Structure 1
Amino acid sequence: MRERLVSGIPATVPGVVHTDLLAAGLIDDPYLATAEADQHWVGAQAWIYRAEFDLEPDAPELTHQHCDLLCDGLDTIAEVFCNGVSLGRSANMHRRNAFGADGRLRPGANQVEVVFSPVLEYTTAMAAQVGERVHVERDPYNLVRKMACNFGWDWGPRLITAGIWKTIGLRSWNKARIADVAVFATAAQNASGSWDGRLRVQVQIAGRSRFGALTVRVRRGEEYAEVGVSAVDDWAEAELSISGISPWWPHSLGEQPRYDVEITFHDEEVVLDRVQRRTGFRTVELDTTPDADGNGATFGFRLNGVQLFARGMDWIPDDCFPSRVTPQRYRERVQQAKDAGVDLLRIWGGGIYEQQGFYDACDELGVMVWQDFCLACAAYPEEEALALEIEAEARDNVVRLSAHPSLVLWNGNNECIWGFHDWHWDGQLDGKTWGAGYYYELFPRIVAELDPTRPYWPGSPSSGAGNDIHPNDMNYGCVHIWDVWNERDYTGYDDYSPRFVSEFGYQGPATWATWARTLEPADRSATSAAMLVHQKAAGGNDKLNRGIQGHLPVPGEGPDDFDEWLFAMQLQQARAVRYGIERWRSLRGRCLGSIVWQLNDCWPVTSWAALDLGTNAAGEPVARRKPLWYAVRSAYADHLVTLQHDADGWRAVLVNDGTAEWVATGSVELRTLAGDVVWSRSLARLVEVRSRTDVAITPDPTDVPAAELALVVTLDGAERAVKLLVEDVDAALPAPDYEASVTRTDAGAAVTVTARSFLRTLCLFPDRVDEDAVSDSLLVDLFPGEAHTFQVTGRFADNELAGLTARPALRSLTKPLTTSEAV
């Protein structure tokens, strides 16, 4: 290996050293088995990227007055050379750099080098300069501006990267050029009911700006609106009012029209530079109105004047090597979120400010973005060496992301304020700075200066600025609820009445198909050495085992029990999170948002994600739906019926987050598991838009044991709610009696199950037959006489179809389904 590295290997840019070593066959895939631990040496080395190229004497890079080397992302401690001369240094993964190359290029052969130093050497030097600060995980990620989870997290591996992770290239220009553009588009409804738009464009000029003027043009169909201004300083600003626009909405409220904006910089008739952006007109507000009694405050979003309940999930980097995430992959992932009813993604502060493709997908698909500044779970020094970098990256990204209508909030950090209050930092800090100046002074000042169209919030969790209220107070701001996963049963969510939950979640393992590609057969057990490499949470398996007690049969953990363990733990995850979502939505009015931790994974792992990350037969990344994804989709439906129980008894809560009133008609029944109706009442309610209605349920007394009973609410326009009166482990679940049939369809197959006995949580896992197959539904309860058809997308040989009607693909919680009937 050493000889090959000394002579050099091909590098893909954008990329990182790990991906080039992998492509060269010099390391094993760190996502597989136990290979992660064999690659820690990569992050401890210095690396050099070298590119050689020829320039003709008349090349623009030589004939124009100026030439810059534009680096959109260097990871992380880098010095850039051109023909042996240093152009500058970078110590921040999160910001763009423009290095002047005037006079450094020549006709003929040229060379650009980027030298990356080991990041842990940098953090050691920074600790000596500013002092150590408390942090989670092993390495002092809080002393360098690099993706925190790159150093390992409780769901991710320790793969310390280096490389040119975004685009790099030369740009030549004369006189002056557009260095950066900020676009702010807001919408307001006028007295006639139509919408007016206001566009404000700020342009940063590099070079001799007094020689130029700006024209800003907005395209609306075949028409243009235009305004021109002189560029008399480094920054120029133009404003434009446009009547009759169509506003941008999250998909839960409406459509997502967008408008092309063209900014032209010219000197008389000569165009010096031109930049294009796409934006949408909308107005976002963060409602923090104090309660009338002074004992709390609202926390919720208003889009174009409409208050909504945010149905969200947290987002982490979609790969440990973010350069591998393509625009198509971003769009697929955001589409998967939208398909689950999600209308907000919170970009977690331990990752990155995402790449353009992510925000483009959210703009197009109508998914709002809550953007954390990239600080997480640590004390961050405020001394100049780090503070200057943090300010530069904040300014860079606030401007870079300004045009995206999906971006609705800038948030100061993840759990840093909470950590200062509750994680015993005082003794370790000994009076040192920890980040308060960023969250309460720097970031709000930057957002107010550069992007006053969006609200800012100090942190997640936080009760706001200028008060002494605990940052995780249920009566204020946004909260994180982790006691349930860490210590309590998931029914403990009933004890919380928050205003907005920006993190809560529950672990569950990845899908079978993902484990089959990740682990050798002998390693497929809950406690194998290889499996535990892919369980990063402290005490994770112990918490899974504790949490399932009293709810579901406890599976074994050996190789022969892997199927049962996967099913039970995935089901437990789905039920726990759905229980939480339904609790928060049942509080609609007081609570205005639920963000589930988390949507996605960055590698194959047992984690809190609804979508795992594996590969297919071609080695391409695949995010497969875990049962949690289906539970989230059900719980985030526009019309929700949830059965809630408290000291006053049972109540059905009808929630309408659709765009029209809901005439909910149907029935509430007390049934035996054999399907007999013991008690019933008709139910009819008008549920107004963006509201909830509570209906008390008081069944007549019965001699039927609770272990044999279920409450069932069936309403037009909503998924049925079924609640057993005891936990499944205590219920009198009958032996399964059913018929199953399969037919081929254009998309794959249709599997119909007709119940002759009660079937609890019927699931079809088609990845057990075709690893790429997907079912349209999961987690189905069937009473005797009822049928359900699973529509499956996949490729199946004729002799494989029957496998969709039998274990391990088809199963329920009742008992293993072991027979099949194929037609």
Structure 2
Amino acid sequence: MFRNSLQLRIFHTVSPERAGADTRMFFKYTRFLLLLVSAFSLRAQSQYELNTGWTCAPIRDVKVAGTELSQPGYALSGWMPAVVPGTVLTTLLENGKVPDPFYGMNNERIPDIYDTGRDYYTYWFAKDFTEKAGRNEEVWLHFRGINYSCDVFLNGQKVNAQTHKGMFLRQRYRITDLLAKDGKNRLAVIVHPPDPVGNAERGQGGDGTIARNVSHQYVAGWDWIQPIRDRNTGIWDKVTIEKTGAVDLKNPHVVTRVPGVRKVKGPQAPAQIQVSAELENPTGKTVTGTLQYTLDGQTIAKEVTIAANSTVAVALPELTLPNPHLWWPHGYGPQPLYTLPLSFAVDGKKVSDRDTVTVGVREIQTEWNTHTRSKQVLVNGQKVFIKGGNWIISDAMLRFTPERYDAEIRFHRDMNLNLIRIWGGALSERPEFYQACDKYGLLVIQDFWMSGDCNGRWLDPIKKDDQWTRRQYPDDHGLFLTSAADQIKLIRNHASLAMWCGGNEITPPEDILLSLRDSILPALDGTRWFIDYSNSDSMSFNSIGGNGDGPYGIQPINTFWEHRTFPFNSEVGSVGVGDYESLTRFIPEQNLIAPDFEKRTVDSVWDYHKYIGYDQYIAPYGKAKDAQDFARKAQLVNYDQYRALMEGFSSHMWDWYTGTIIWKTQNPWTALRGQMYDCYLDVNACLYGLRNGSAPLHIMYDPVQGMVMLVNNGFETKRDLMMVVKTYDLAGKETLVTQVFNEIQGSTAKNFLPIKSTVDAFRAKEGGFLSLQLLDTDQNVVSDNLYWLPDSTGQYSGLQKMKKASLSIATKADGKGKIEVTLSNPANGPVAFFNRLALVDPKTKERILPVFFDDNYVSVRPGEQKTVTLDYTSSDPVELSVEGWNVQKLYVPVR
């Protein structure tokens, strides 16, 4: 079993029986660590999380009512430990009651709720905790997410007057008067699954009826995942206790205005900061006090009177922030964040409640590009070419941690992307996700909970209801709108949140759409672009016959350069099988059989995990001998596909395109498609091909026109750049084609050198390497791109018979989780081609995950040195492994 240095999640290279035990042990350790972290951070704000010590039992085994269960003295004999936050299925997995559904075909061994009935996954959850209210104190119970409906009991009393419904609606209860006098309390919650649960037999969202709920839709199965058997029923998000004085400060709102067109560097004109908050007084007396905040040394305050048993919304005077440190998307500038403490003090003296908001000062605008006929996005007055990825969810079973979010968003930053779109069949993402996006500079499009597949856009005989009925899903429009308003308040303060979207490939029903667009969003946000649906004409007008979103699946490289799609393409994607080590974690040994395109055969486990064909694209490297050889060659295809995808779109920026978003960049399940890293957080070559092709300043080769091009995504002109063009044959012989100084303006893609005839003549016999480098005036390499070229028949005949390279490796560790690896290839030999670096346990040779590389799948030219930096968190001994196309696998100690 591999080691995960962030202790995020452990999956399995062992038998399903051992796998379940390892998962349970891991969860206990991880939850202990998270308790320490959350307790420290939350108690500083008079809050703490209830995330350990829960127990649960299925409703069929419970014969008494919640009023009796929630009595502190009632014995909960036979109840099992529960995962909270978590789902019923994660609890069953931790207790060894089900096999790991991510491994092999184990998911088929778990009863599906459609077959068992809803009561099978209806569970009681109970938690004993110590708390009592002091003098002039109020105590509040918060649930940040329960799926799907629930009733809450505390110390023999029902807390909620009506059954709570809705996966995306927070619950908040004043429990001051319900707490036990001795401070020993019991909380009991009965959680019911969605209704209906949907038949997940086949199709996108199964029979579609899961969408009748205000819930996520992928749990009934999709083309990238098998069904989640309990439909993620459970207390899936945080449960917290909050203590305040007489007045509770809630739902703060911070808006930043950055007028004009700004530059990244130099002095800045002022920005305007607008702050508001809600103040609730649950007591029987009128309370007067001061609401105030401090930002960058300035304090803004306002005296407020709140009547008894009432809530008021208070807007504070606007603050002018001189010379602000502006927040920019990744690739355009830094991401500074301010801390804004906000408090309410009764009579201006004793603090009743406080909150802290992290603020990125930026303003996001959009405008219509009349040339491309699509929207373009501006940040701080500067247009940004969107290079994005579609995100499903961090984990299909809702096992979220801040550390995992941070790692995944960091990977997206490392891809040189600047946007993530949250797909409408999943969640409104958690604040911890947005915190990571704020940190790493990823803009976000947040879809609401609609998808054309379930919500009636297309005729679909698999669906239970007709299109007219499905078009009006969900059943409760009021609940949808109430949930939307609540989630807007939850995440609206994040600098990264850039756009709202009504749904995936369909608008919400008209009454929901109009309420969102015309009432709710203007009142609660009012600063962001609202797209009515993900491929709307208002986003990207389809003005040329035959274009659209996509293409999906593997493509000839030229497609990305010459095939014109939607000018702001919300979904374009390709393949994404991980390497052999990744496959062994979830595919049993007997099923590690390479797909055979010629015979049209795919192993049943590969098929179950949604393998999407590499078709004829493996064969040019030589027919795959086995699964290990297939996965090795698939990485070459992966790198080439995603480099070409982003290079092709970038080559037409502001001409054909204002942006593109890859479908998709991650998998929350062990799927065999559309991922730059797998759900164990192990990277594959997709990530580094995309990282190369998406680089903010980039030299590249257009295979259609035969042109060397430069792309400059930044705002400033880059001058005195030396373009160096060389070829290397398979023996390593170098030929200089040309080198020339040039410059390129900001936000531009430009043709420079036509070399098609030279390249075609060079590669005709057995292929070879085309080397493109961009050097600054100090001769530092600022962009490096090495293409491997097929022969005139389209085969990589030369690669198949390359001689071994004698790569030497040196490591230098700083003792703080960073390692510099220097790869040296002697002159007079071949290119050391496509080397995969990994950190491993010195004894077991299993990979340590996650590790962040500033490059990987690295090729080293003859006579060249390359340095790669690794970043990781493990404090245990590590070893470096390096293996390349023509480099024997090496293990190098790291000291």
> Is residue 149–residue 166 contact of structure 2 (8 Å, CA) maintained in 1?
yes
Deviations 1:353-373 (A, max 9, x none): 222211112212222222122
Are the structure 2 counterparts of residues 686 and 103 from structure 1 closer, same or farther at C-alpha, using a change threshold of 3 Å? Answer: same
Alignment partners' CA distance in 2, 1:50 and 1:704? 69
Deviations 1:276-316 (A, max 9, x none): 2121221101222434xxxx524221110011112322222
Please, which of 692, 695, 700 is the counterpart of residue 637 of structure 1?
695
Are the structure 2 counterparts of residues 481 and 754 from structure 1 closer, same or farther at C-alpha, using a change threshold of 3 Å? Answer: farther
Aligned position for 1:26: 97
Deviates more, 1:250-259 or 1:759-768: 759-768
- 1:654-803 aligned at under 5 Å gives the runs 654-658=710-714, 660-663=716-719, 664-669=721-726, 672-674=729-731, 680-698=737-755, 706-708=764-766, 711-716=770-775, 717-722=782-787, 724=789, 726=791, 729=795, 731-733=797-799, 734-746=801-813, 747=819, 750-754=822-826, 756=828, 758-759=830-831, 761-766=833-838, 769-772=845-848, 777-781=855-859
Q: Per-residue deviation at 1:678?
A: 6.8
TM-score normalized by the length of structure 2: 0.75
Deviates more, 1:587-596 or 1:164-173: 164-173
Aligned position for 2:663: 597
2:368 aligned with 1:278: no
Q: Per-residue deviation at 1:602?
A: 1.4
Alignment partners' CA distance in 1, 2:876 and 2:252? 54
Q: Per-residue deviation at 1:48?
A: 3.0
Q: Per-residue deviation at 1:645?
A: 3.6
> Is residue 627–residue 778 contact of structure 1 (8 Å, CA) maintained in 2?
yes
Aligned position for 2:440: 365
Alignment partners' CA distance in 1, 2:876 and 2:516? 61
> Is residue 712–residue 722 contact of structure 1 (8 Å, CA) maintained in 2?
yes
2:655 aligned with 1:587: no
Amino acid of the residue matched to residue 725 of structure 2? V
Are the structure 2 counterparts of residues 670 and 247 from structure 1 closer, same or farther at C-alpha, using a change threshold of 3 Å? Answer: closer
2:531 aligned with 1:452: no
Alignment partners' CA distance in 2, 1:74 and 1:120? 14
Aligned position for 1:503: 571
Amino acid of the residue matched to residue 279 of structure 2? I
Are the structure 2 counterparts of residues 54 and 572 from structure 1 closer, same or farther at C-alpha, using a change threshold of 3 Å? Answer: closer
Q: Per-residue deviation at 1:412?
A: 1.6
Are the structure 2 counterparts of residues 440 and 571 from structure 1 closer, same or farther at C-alpha, using a change threshold of 3 Å? Answer: farther
Are the structure 2 counterparts of residues 778 and 210 from structure 1 closer, same or farther at C-alpha, using a change threshold of 3 Å? Answer: same
When the two chains are superposed, the root-mean-square deviation of aligned CA atoms in Å is 3.9
Alignment partners' CA distance in 2, 1:385 and 1:596? 32
Aligned position for 2:415: 340
Amino acid of the residue matched to residue 216 of structure 2? M
Amino acid of the residue matched to residue 884 of structure 2? R
Please, which of 236, 256, 268 is the counterpart of residue 314 of structure 2?
236
2:60 aligned with 1:60: no
2:729 aligned with 1:651: no
Please, which of 678, 687, 690 is the counterpart of residue 612 of structure 1?
678
Q: Per-residue deviation at 1:609?
A: 0.7
> Is residue 319–residue 602 contact of structure 1 (8 Å, CA) maintained in 2?
yes
Deviates more, 1:326-335 or 1:175-184: 175-184
Are the structure 2 counterparts of residues 564 and 457 from structure 1 closer, same or farther at C-alpha, using a change threshold of 3 Å? Answer: same
TM-score normalized by the length of structure 1: 0.82
Deviations 1:600-632 (A, max 9, x none): 221333121101122xxxxxxxx0111111111
Please, which of 216, 235, 242 is the counterpart of residue 147 of structure 1?
216
Please, which of 170, 188, 191 is the counterpart of residue 259 of structure 2?
188
Deviates more, 1:778-787 or 1:330-339: 778-787
Q: Per-residue deviation at 1:234?
A: 3.2
Alignment partners' CA distance in 1, 2:621 and 2:574? 15
Are the structure 2 counterparts of residues 38 and 195 from structure 1 closer, same or farther at C-alpha, using a change threshold of 3 Å? Answer: farther
Q: Secondary structure at the match of 1:739?
A: coil
Q: Which residues of structure 1 form unaligned runs of 5+?
A: 125-133, 418-433, 466-470, 615-622
Q: Per-residue deviation at 1:635?
A: 0.9
Amino acid of the residue matched to residue 680 of structure 1? V
- 1:471-482 aligned at under 5 Å gives the runs 473=542, 481-482=549-550
Identity level (%): 19
Alignment partners' CA distance in 1, 2:234 and 2:501? 28
> Is residue 297–residue 475 contact of structure 1 (8 Å, CA) maintained in 2?
no
2:389 aligned with 1:313: yes
Aligned position for 1:199: 273
Q: Per-residue deviation at 1:789?
A: 6.1
Alignment partners' CA distance in 2, 1:707 and 1:231? 83
Aligned position for 1:85: 158
2:684 aligned with 1:626: yes
Q: Per-residue deviation at 1:158?
A: 1.8
Please, which of 610, 621, 624 is the counterpart of residue 555 of structure 1?
624
Q: Secondary structure at the match of 1:583?
A: helix
> Is residue 630–residue 779 contact of structure 1 (8 Å, CA) maintained in 2?
yes
Amino acid of the residue matched to residue 389 of structure 2? M
Q: Secondary structure at the match of 1:252?
A: coil
> Is residue 209–residue 454 contact of structure 2 (8 Å, CA) maintained in 1?
no
Alignment partners' CA distance in 1, 2:787 and 2:770? 6
Q: Per-residue deviation at 1:242?
A: 1.8
Aligned position for 1:811: 884
2:424 aligned with 1:349: yes
> Is residue 77–residue 119 contact of structure 1 (8 Å, CA) maintained in 2?
yes
Q: Per-residue deviation at 1:172?
A: 5.9
Q: Secondary structure at the match of 1:188?
A: coil
Q: Secondary structure at the match of 1:682?
A: strand
Amino acid of the residue matched to residue 186 of structure 2? Q
Alignment partners' CA distance in 1, 2:754 and 2:158? 78
Alignment partners' CA distance in 1, 2:556 and 2:823? 35
Aligned position for 2:379: 303
Q: Per-residue deviation at 1:194?
A: 2.6
Alignment partners' CA distance in 1, 2:495 and 2:763? 55
Q: Per-residue deviation at 1:75?
A: 1.5
Deviations 1:760-791 (A, max 9, x none): 85222546844127565444455655565666
Deviations 1:189-235 (A, max 9, x none): 59996332222233233346963455231221x44344555558632
2:313 aligned with 1:256: no
> Is residue 195–residue 246 contact of structure 1 (8 Å, CA) maintained in 2?
no
Alignment partners' CA distance in 1, 2:803 and 2:889? 10
Deviations 1:81-118 (A, max 9, x none): 33253623222111211245575444356433221223
Alignment partners' CA distance in 1, 2:740 and 2:320? 48
> Is residue 507–residue 608 contact of structure 1 (8 Å, CA) maintained in 2?
yes
Amino acid of the residue matched to residue 60 of structure 1? A
Please, which of 567, 570, 579 is the counterpart of residue 632 of structure 2?
567
- 1:395-410 aligned at under 5 Å gives the runs 395-410=485-500
Alignment partners' CA distance in 1, 2:403 and 2:878? 34
Please, which of 226, 229, 242 is the counterpart of residue 157 of structure 1?
226
> Is residue 33–residue 531 contact of structure 1 (8 Å, CA) maintained in 2?
no
Are the structure 2 counterparts of residues 749 and 78 from structure 1 closer, same or farther at C-alpha, using a change threshold of 3 Å? Answer: same
Are the structure 2 counterparts of residues 480 and 573 from structure 1 closer, same or farther at C-alpha, using a change threshold of 3 Å? Answer: farther
Alignment partners' CA distance in 2, 1:767 and 1:349? 36
Alignment partners' CA distance in 2, 1:748 and 1:685? 32
Alignment partners' CA distance in 1, 2:127 and 2:829? 72
Deviates more, 1:43-52 or 1:499-508: 43-52
Alignment partners' CA distance in 2, 1:228 and 1:174? 17
> Is residue 229–residue 238 contact of structure 1 (8 Å, CA) maintained in 2?
no
